[in-house]
Structure 1
């Protein structure tokens, strides 16, 4: 049996706390929590808190659960050090130069978790058969989770006073995650699966009645058509993300650690 993966976890927020607690409790066979990295001083952690540099040097796998800026600043450095990297903040992949760098830098290997959406494996399989000529994502969330500094007073007023769904923005997977850096990683994940940021049309909707976050993916190609809809409860600590996201990270960790029965 191979040695357990030593995991360095970056971020002890809504996602990292769940992931780290599960790792420390031995819930992922073949993976152990070895280091925690966070820019705040933390106490009562299940593993030593350390600098990013020490975590990279001392771990086999870095799990990013702290935001797109971490991927941009540290992603390639982790891989050049020979340490593997699991990315949760896939919104960083709207930067094509960064994506190319992550995919070509080694000897460490980079992996991406699907987060709050499913069907990405099937879209990747369909893409092997031919181009997907229609890919559309509609994301619906509570208005408060979508407010951004760039929004003008008129849009903010419409969102805050709406008594039904309000279309906030349309665009592609290239530009929407930049506009909503904490709320639309799903758009970049879909684009990663289909291989084209500009092919994925994205609509962001604010709905005051959205007790669940909803993502609807519709895709079509010469070999078939696909529709996936997921509805998640928002995380109570950070409503911009869904409760399921840390468990998607844990599923990915289980697959990387070689747990039997994982769906690959």
Structure 2
């Protein structure tokens, strides 16, 4: 799979992400074989040059690089089991969302079956694949990753190998995506409050870059405090932040907006305060969340 050769690729699973993966490989000139349990999902890809395999075994036999994008780990287990010995000697890159434990268990299965296994996390929406903004994270077999890397560059030039621990990409994914999911609730709550005050959500948009721009610095500062186990209140204390937080909750409650997300966060603040950390910086919330001191 050298950089001078367009590596044949097989894509197993043609949901939104799997279809986007196949399209991106095709656009980059890679001979691409596809398979999906519902065969009709392959039709649009066949029209643009993909080969539709009649079975998982046929699909796996068509290429040295197998990329999997299925619903969950159970689906991956069933499909790989159906492939059987045809997988031996292949490089398998699993881009299905999974837990770190599932990724490590899948790697053990792959080792028994003679497969070079790479676990991956797609930090992009399907339409973002192949663009400069796409980011994919990989961990597991380094030799497998290096072999597949030239082809994987079609999906993301910023693809990053994180190490031999097969669960590492899934762990990075979970940690980073947690920021996204809680931000989604923040966006939803912010617009709900704006609407309750007679403000259109679109009126908030010009002011959001200033807030979003604070996030990289906040993450860097928090990570540094946790790694040093030292929590100076350089910007604010937990006590003062909690006072501002309770005011915010009061505003939401006044409008009858669901405060469940805020209440859960308030419980973390109160645990920190009850433990005597009111004068510490906000980084102290990390070990409180983790059940530590």
> How would you bin the TM-score normalised by the shorter chain?
0.3 to 0.5
Structure with greater Cα Rg: 2
Ranked by relative contact order (alpha carbons within 8 Å, sequence separation 6 or more), the top structure is: 1
Higher fraction of helix: 2
Q: TM-score, normalised by structure 1?
A: 0.42
Q: TM-score, normalised by structure 2?
A: 0.39
